[in-house]
Amino acid sequence: MHVHLEAALKSEQAIADRFALDDLLTAYAVAIDTDQVTELTRLATEDAVFDYQSSGGPRGSVAEAQQWLQSALEQVPVRAHLIVNRRFDIHEDSACVEAHFFNPMSVKVPGQKNEVWNPGGGYYFVGFRRTGKGWRISELVMLQTWRVAVGVHAAGGSGGHRGP
């Protein structure tokens, strides 16, 4: 169930929560785009689960997500992580958001001189929990629904990249 804006913003606390959650989601995107995946430790609960299976990654702990992201992002020198159309469902000490993402990026392809333009997109489903340190991510599921590779000339097919 998604809360209508009017109902969700009836109190100062509701407004503060909405901004805090929005800031947390933005901090996540910036951490990915600026090679600061160690920031996930600060942004998430200790028992958080990150699920990148739809893009070839793991479903696991913060540490597992960080390890995979650091490795995968080495091949992605140019990227932007745009998280839009955010729909929040906020309760007293828990919240969730469903949001679209658009991920323009270029990737290095073995055997090719030039990087390949490789945009993609899909959805994020993110759970949040209020802690003594404020809101934190308790679960993040990335559902990549599309990705295209433009300019791939590798033998045996269109190539492409399985990564964030």
* Host domain of residue 80: 5-147
Better-scored residue on pLDDT, 17 or 114 = 17
Mean predicted lDDT score pLDDT of the chain: 89
Q: What is the pLDDT of residues 94-143, one digit of tens each?
A: 999 999 999 999 998 888 888 899 999 999 999 999 999 999 999 999 99
DSSP of 6-45? HHHTSSHHHHHHHHHHHHHHHHHHHHHHTT-GGGHHHHEE
- Provide the 8-state DSSP code for 150: B
Domain CATH for 23: 3.10.450.50
Specify the number of domains making up the chain.
1
